[in-house]
Structure 1
Amino acid sequence: MKKFAALLLISTVALLGACGKKESAPAAGTEPAPVAASKIIVGLDDNFPPMGFRDSNNELVGFDIDMAKEASHRLGMTVEFKPIDWSAKEAELNGKRVDVLWNGLTITEERKQNISFTAPYMTNHQIVIVGIKSPVKTKADLAGRIVGAQDGSSAVDAIRKEAQVAASLKELKTFGDNVTALMDLSTGRLDAIVVDEVVGRYLISKRAGEYRVLDENFGTEDYGVGVRKDDAELLGKLDKTLGSMKEDGTAARIATKWFGADITK
């Protein structure tokens, strides 16, 4: 009986010890290591050639597309391109539906209040495009005329910044994309459009002899990649990666492919 009791006691202790090992908790103050992100979601306007647009096969192509693919590869991350309503881009970013805004995004003091930017990677101008036979020669000649620009773009801000010119317009008409605005210019529903130079010159190069760019413009600006303010780690990685792409000539090669010259900053 005593022998049986002793065996029972030993078995019970062993069982409790085993259970204790299975239920052991991590030491106080320790937390599981965070899982590194393996994908980056790029928010873009998919009708913004040559920065990001769809080709004849409906594939997304463009300068910023190539830049984002190369940067993501160097970061060891897959990339997903997500077309968004560009006029609501900051809400898309801060709502965490995308990780970055990468599509000819102009760095402005107003936008800096809501999002962070990488160092500039390209300089741009807001140019004025008119029909080849248009009597408009200067910004002053836009008085009493209808001018178009993409809704939510820095072109709208640039026009409004020049209060005297903006007040002189008959109408500032906004569009979902620059391609549609250019079509309205072609049909005479607009007298001029204001657009990013890299985009505007690319578009009109496809229809030589139809348009003219004014010597005057609505200012110089820089492009950067937009990141959430609380995502400092990703911002730092992108800055370092873009810097290395510039140093080793990759950014220049991509720029030459799309613009015929290295126009990166």
Structure 2
Amino acid sequence: MRHALLLAPLFTLLLGLFGAPAATAADQALWEKSTLNQIIKRGELRVGLEAGYLPFEMRDKRGEIIGFDVDLAKLMARYMGVKVSFVNTQWDGIIPALLTDKFDILMSGMTITPERNLQVNFARPYITIGQTILLAKKHADTVKSVKDLNDPKYVIATKLGTTGDIAAKRFLGKAKLKTFETEADAALEVRNGRADAFVYDLPFNVVYIAQFKDSLVHLKEPFTKEPLGWAVRKGDPDFLNWLDHFQDQIRNDGSYDALYGKWFEGVAWLANMQGG
């Protein structure tokens, strides 16, 4: 402590003589290019997503996009002091849309993978999930895990280009795999008896089984572990820094827990869904 007190006047003297380190021209140029700076100048946060992934983003009875990611984006915009808009985008083109500046940030329940990370940067994971199985009820007595489904006699439905699709290829290579454009179409294939199981993310399957317990069984123990993250364009450390601190803030002030409880621990919002 004594040495610190003795050094303090010397540091103050040197600071007075030479001044505090100034931001370099490169720092200023980086900030000018930052998506965060552009959002503030524009007064609008543009969020890319694909409506249809319960309970992250989906449409209600009025056709409006609602969900966990949607509420997080609204909260994010409030902290930025800007308005928010949502750009609904097909999943297979959602990363290219981000890279071509169709929106500022991708918030759509995207799993962080090394392959995706080659194209975009991710903020810290905001939730961790895994793949589970919605099983046709007729197999409830014979199929107890993903290993039991790895057989040529079974047809497995997945959504094209998702981590469920990847997991099915990895763990169920002996089964017949059928891919679909949407989660709803893939799950419906099982309910209609044209597939034996649907492989997809735990949150979606939890919500789906609550509506269709008569025809499906949920093997709810995840057989993968997947962190989800918000994606931004590369070369933007200012935006990534802000997003990570935003997460710290909402976890510390209880906002995150409140939204998690609303969308994952309660199902009251299902009454407001299309077809609800």
**Residue equivalent to 1:255:** 260
**Ranges in structure 1 where 5+ consecutive residues have no aligned partner:** 1-29
Count of residue correspondences: 227
**Residue equivalent to 1:91:** 96
How far apart in 1 are the matches of 2:217 and 2:253? 36
User: Does 1:169 find its partner at 2:175?
Assistant: yes
- 1:219 is paired with a residue whose SS is coil
Deviation of 1:215 after TM superposition, in Å, equals 5.6
**Ranges in structure 2 where 5+ consecutive residues have no aligned partner:** 1-27, 267-276
Deviation of 1:245 after TM superposition, in Å, equals 0.6
- The percent identity for this pair of structures is 30
How far apart in 1 are the matches of 2:45 and 2:233? 13
- Answer 1 or 2: which has greater helix percent: 2
**Residue equivalent to 2:118:** 113
Q: Which moved more, 1:186-195 or 1:140-149?
A: 140-149
- 2:224 is paired with a residue whose SS is strand
Deviation of 1:67 after TM superposition, in Å, equals 0.7
Contact 1:132 1:212 (C-alpha < 8 Å) held by counterparts: yes
Deviation of 1:139 after TM superposition, in Å, equals 2.0
**Residue equivalent to 1:55:** 60
Alignment partner for residue 210 of structure 1, among 215, 218, 242? 215
How far apart in 2 are the matches of 1:260 and 1:216? 17
How far apart in 2 are the matches of 1:110 and 1:218? 20
- 1:208 is paired with a residue whose SS is coil
User: Does 1:100 find its partner at 2:105?
Assistant: yes
TM-score (norm 1): 0.80
How far apart in 2 are the matches of 1:95 and 1:53? 24
Alignment partner for residue 73 of structure 2, among 68, 79, 89? 68
- Answer 1 or 2: which has greater strand percent: 1
How far apart in 1 are the matches of 2:46 and 2:247? 17
**Residue equivalent to 2:144:** 137
Deviation of 1:233 after TM superposition, in Å, equals 2.1
How far apart in 2 are the matches of 1:152 and 1:218? 18
**Residue equivalent to 2:194:** 189
How far apart in 2 are the matches of 1:198 and 1:215? 10
Cα RMSD for the two superposed structures = 2.0
